[in-house]
Amino acid sequence: MKNFIFIFKSAIEDFSRNKLRTFLTSLGILIGIFAVVVLMALGLGLKKYISDQFETMGKNSLFLVPGRVLSGGSFTGSVSSVSGRFDDRDLQTLKKINNIIGVAPLAFKSTKIKGLLKEDYGDIMFSSETFADIMGLEIDTGRFFDKSDVSKKTKVIVIGSKIATDYYGSIEEAIGKKITIDNVKFTIIGVTKSKGGGGMGGFDYDKYLFAPYTTGFIFNPDKRFFRLSVKVKNENYISQVKEDIKKEFLKRYKDEEFSIVEPTELMSAITSIFSVLNLILVAIAAISLLVGGIGIMNIMYVTVSDRIKEIGIRRALGARKSDISYQFLAESVLLSSIGGLLGLGFAYLGVLLAESFFPAYIDLLTVIIALGVSSAIGITFGVFPARKAANLEPVEVIRYE
Amino acid sequence: MEFRLAISSMIKFTNVSKEYKIDEGYTFFALKKVNLEIKEKEFVSIMGPSGSGKSTLMHLIGLLDRPTNGQIYIANKEISKISDDEISRLRNEFVGFVFQQFNLISKLTVFENVVLPTIYSRRSLDFSPQERTLEILTKFGLKDKINSYPNKLSGGQQQRVAMARALIMKPRLILADEPTGNLDSKTGHEIMMLLEKLNKEEKITIVLVTHEVDIAKYAKRTIKIRDGMIEN
């Protein structure tokens, strides 16, 4: 123990005498750890972002989309084609299947929207009362449209919080007001809670408007739907319902004309793609760790040659081969750990900076991996120089001038 | 003579040879079938011109090297039969070295240099390393230098630090390889008197390697070596 303390103490003293050399030697590890940690942090952030997006979709939902989306857990080909859309008949088919507690069709309309303060193009989603539940939308003020709104085709509308502030100044101001969509007047009955999100292909629900799909048939005379969502009683029924839907839909469509997607399935597919991409990037960054390790090995060989006399003296005073070996190993581990710690520190700063425009975070595992890898590099690349030092014959080195 | 035999053997060489392969086919014989015995509490000098093999002899006695042929017994132990770690332990506990070049570690302070051998000891010591270091350095008049680095010291001071380091582990043998070689004659004699005192008062066996006759005089017995052989 006293031996180890002494070894580390003298290594640190050695480094403080050679600050520049110590810094330059550990620079390779610094850069490597920095790159690896930042990339891992970005990967983790992205993964979390994706799962958050899917989390909001509500549990026990299934999505029906035209065309092929997923096959064997990965993406294939095109997502949808204009021709392959669902209609009211499909909606009725779904309603007849057991253990489905809600169906939400989805039709889009992009058109001119006129509010109190503003007139601009916007997007309306037409769906059923189940939509809010399936998509995980929450109401801030007022209410979401209900079953009777859907059956009576009432001209009511729920708007995103961003729309409320943009077109009316505030959420309170918007409630109960009229909004004109393509010359049809709707009454605002509710404003959704802000969800954030958007970007990277996700919807920013704060900027959407939501109205009953039956009312929407005004703009959608052929009653076509872009997507059908289904809420299943509970998770035990998901696979059964999936089978039933497939059976029913195969009566009308070919197998490749529709897909039934579970959000979790979609999420794992997307996540796995990003994970692979991230892994490749991390692997490339890890090459710089290898280069850094070689740098340390090189310096350690130089150090051994520089200190042949010292090694001889220590051996003459009773140091064993292992004592000499540990001394040099401790130095290389310290060198690479210093690099690792600095790299981690810089990566932390980098992630703090990146956080404002990209999801990124460092978890404990990343820290453990970073420090573990950097000391492992110290050991791996320090072992050969240390062995060289330890195996020097005392008589050779004591004579050395 | 009889009284000498009663004292146990410290170092014994039987037919010890040391060869160095210089080139393919050419071998240099540094020591040729050397027989010698040094007993406990003796003060022996080894004399010989340069290239005579006295350094090789010294390295073999100091366990820094192993012979090509023959047996070396240190305290009745045959060293070819013991492991490298065991030899390291003997160097640590049994032998104290004093070199011509002082061989202090330049980046360590005087105190750290002296305490260093205790770091390498694997057994529990019957003294406090710090206290003993301070005690010896005080005795050698170096108390105010304990935090200095060796390059700030005079040659005589450095050699006294080296002697303190040689003594820290309470060795039974001190090997001094031309200890006065880098010192002026006054300082040289001071160092020799110190060695003489250690031999007399602390009963430490001393083996001195030198080529100076008046330095060799401090020893009670002189072994002369020439061309790798002991002269009688």
- ipTM for the predicted complex comes to 0.91
Q: What is the pLDDT of residue B6?
A: 42
Residue A260 within a domain: no
Looking at residue A196, its pLDDT comes to 63
Examine the fold and report which residue of A226, A255, A284 is the final residue of a domain before the chain moves on.
A255
Q: Which tens digit of pLDDT belongs to each residue from A274-308?
A: 889 888 988 888 888 899 999 999 999 999 998 89
| A185 shares a domain with A92 | yes
Quick one: pLDDT band at residue A186, thresholds 50, 70, 90?
Answer: very high
Pairing of strands A100-114, A119-127: antiparallel
Task: Establish if A358 belongs to a structural domain.
Answer: yes
Is B104:B150 a contact under the CB 8 Å cutoff?
Answer: yes
- The β-bridge relationship of strands A70-71 and A61-66 is unpaired
pLDDT average, residue stretch A361-384: 90
Nearest one of B144, B218, B145 to B180, comparing CA atoms: B218
Query: Which of A204, A221, A255 corresponds to the end of one domain?
Result: A255
Residues A35-45 have a mean pLDDT of: 89
Are B85 and A10 a contacting pair at CB < 8 A?
A: no
Tell me the chain A residues in contact with residue B109 when contact means C-beta distances shorter than 8 Å.
none
**Residue A398 pLDDT more than 90?**
no
Asked if pLDDT for residue A82 goes beyond 80, the answer is no
Query: Angle B155-167/B129-139 helices, nearest 10 degrees?
Result: 140
Does residue A388 lie in a domain region? yes
Q: What is the mean pLDDT of chain A?
A: 85
Q: Which of A4, A303, A309, A317 to mutate to test the interface with B (most CBs of B within 10 A)?
A: A317
Nearest residue in B to A397, CA atom: B64
Query: Choosing among B103, B121, B122, B175, which should be mutated to test the A contact, i.e. which has the most A CBs within 10 A?
Result: B103
First to last CA, chain A: 32
Domain count, chain A: 2
Q: Which of A10, A317, A398 sits opposite B92 (nearest CB)?
A: A317
* Residue A202 pLDDT > 60: no
Question: DSSP string covering B90-150, please?
Answer: HHHHTEEEE-TT----TTS-HHHHHHHHHHT--S--SS-HHHHHHHHHHHTT-GGGTTS-G
How far is B108 from B105, CA to CA, in rounded Å? 6
Cβ neighbours of B85 in A, within 8 Å? 320-322
Higher pLDDT, B87 or A50: B87
Same domain, A178 and A145: yes
Q: What is the pLDDT of residue A280?
A: 92
To the nearest 10°, the Cα dihedral for A114, A116, A118, A123?
A: -40
Q: Please tell me the least confidently modeled range out of A37-46, A50-59, A345-354, B38-47.
A: A50-59
Residue finishing a domain among A211, A229, A255 = A255
For each of the domains in chain B, give its residue range(s) and CATH number, in order of start: 40-66+83-231 (3.40.50.300)
Q: What angle do CA A52, A57, A61 make, to 5 degrees?
A: 135
Mean pLDDT of A221-230: 86
Q: Are residues A213 and A292 in the same domain?
A: no
Residues A86, A210 within the same domain? yes
Both structure tokens of A185: 């007047």
Residue A1's pLDDT band (cuts 50, 70, 90): low
pLDDT higher than 70, residue A69: no
- The stretches of A136-262 forming alpha helices (DSSP H) are 147-152, 161-168, 171-174, 213-216, 238-250
Which of A313, A323, A392 is the best mutation test for B, with the most CBs of B within 10 A?
A: A313
Domain of residue A227, residue span: 60-255
A134 and A77 in a single domain? The answer is yes
What single letter denotes the amino acid at residue B194?
Answer: L
Q: Does B124 contact chain A (CB < 8 Å)?
A: no
Instruction: Based on the fold, state whether residues A86 and A48 are members of the same structural domain.
Output: no
Instruction: Confirm or reject contact between B125 and chain A (CB < 8 A).
Output: no
Instruction: Choose among A222, A204, A276: nearest CA to A47.
Output: A276
Count how many residues are written for chain A.
401
Sign, CA torsion A276/A281/A282/A288:
positive
Put simply, the answer to whether A321 touches B92 (Cβ < 8 Å) is no
Same-domain status, A132 and A240: yes
Identify whether A264 is part of a domain: no
Does residue A341 sit in the same domain as residue A204?
Answer: no
Whether residues A313 and B59 touch (CB distance < 8 A) is answered with: no
Give the pLDDT band of residue A134 (cuts 50, 70, 90): confident
- Those residues of chain B that have pLDDT short of 70 are 1-7
Judgement on whether residues A48 and A68 belong to the same structural domain of the protein: no
